[in-house]
Every structure is written in C-alpha cells, then in structure tokens.
C-alpha cells in the first residue's frame, strides 16, 4: 500500500487586533498678516465763521469735505486715527475728540490753515 504524504497544510486561525484610528490634532495657525484692531474716534467741531474742513478716517475715506458756516457743528465718527484739515483756524469755536477738548495751540498753523491727526 502506498502511503501518500498528506501535502495539505493546516492553517491556524489568525486573530485580528483592532487598529486605533490616529488621533487628529487641532492646529491653530496665526494669520499671515496681523489683524488690525481699530478704534472709533469721535470728532466734534463748532464754527463761529465760514471755514472749509476735511476729515478722513484711518483708511483715507473722507468723512467730511465741505464749507461750514458760522453756527454750524460737525459731529462725526470713524476709524481712528482721524486726519483733519482746517482751512480757517480762526473760524473754529471749539474742537473735541473723544469728548475731550482739543487745544489748537498744539498744532502747526500756517496762513490760518492747519493739518493734524487725532488718535486714541
């Protein structure tokens, strides 16, 4: 009797281990450009005579660009700093920025005209 060798290999059962999902990290990146924080500036001007005035905000947007008459008042707000041009300093009765009086003597005046910037 021929004895044939049993060539069949026995396969042992394979246990499967559970594989954990890789943890995801939350990454907070800084913006590539700094974020500008702007504050609103409030400017109030009253006039005792005719005066041309221009007020621009931090972005250069003109908030006021007009001739004011005696008795007129400007009350304007915009992103500070505010750039102000007064065409006739002697025509200004009072200036207030952030509800505080502004002393025009602090600014250069040439031919009764003054340009200055007001910041918080």
What is the domain count for the chain? 1
Whether 52 is in a domain gets the answer: yes
Whether 9 is in a domain gets the answer: no
Pairing assessment for the beta strands 51-56 and 92-97 based on DSSP bridges: unpaired
The pTM for the full model equals 0.68
Distance of CA 103 to the CA centre of its chain: 27
Containing domain of residue 112, as a range? Answer: 40-118
Whether 26 is in a domain gets the answer: no
Residue 60: which CATH number? 2.60.40
Whether 4 is in a domain gets the answer: no
- Each residue's pLDDT, cut to its tens digit, for the chain (120 residues) gives 555 555 555 555 555 555 555 555 555 555 555 555 568 999 999 999 999 999 999 999 999 999 999 999 999 999 999 999 999 999 999 999 999 999 999 999 999 999 999 998
Phi then psi for 106, rounded to 5 degrees? -80, -10
């Amino acid at each position: 009797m021929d004895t044939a060798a049993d060539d069949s290999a026995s396969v042992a059962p394979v246990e499967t281990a559970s594989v954990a999902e890789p943890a995801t990290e939350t990454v907070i990146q800084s913006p590539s450009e700094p974020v500008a924080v702007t504050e609103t500036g409030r400017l109030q001007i009253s006039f005792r005579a005719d005066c041309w005035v221009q007020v621009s905000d931090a972005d250069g947007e003109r908030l006021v660009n007009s001739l004011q008459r005696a008795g007129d008042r400007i009350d304007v707000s915009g992103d500070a700093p505010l750039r102000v041009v007064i065409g006739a300093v002697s025509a200004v009765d009072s200036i207030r920025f952030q509800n505080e009086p502004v002393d025009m003597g602090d600014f250069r005046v040439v031919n009764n005209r003054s340009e200055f910037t007001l910041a918080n």
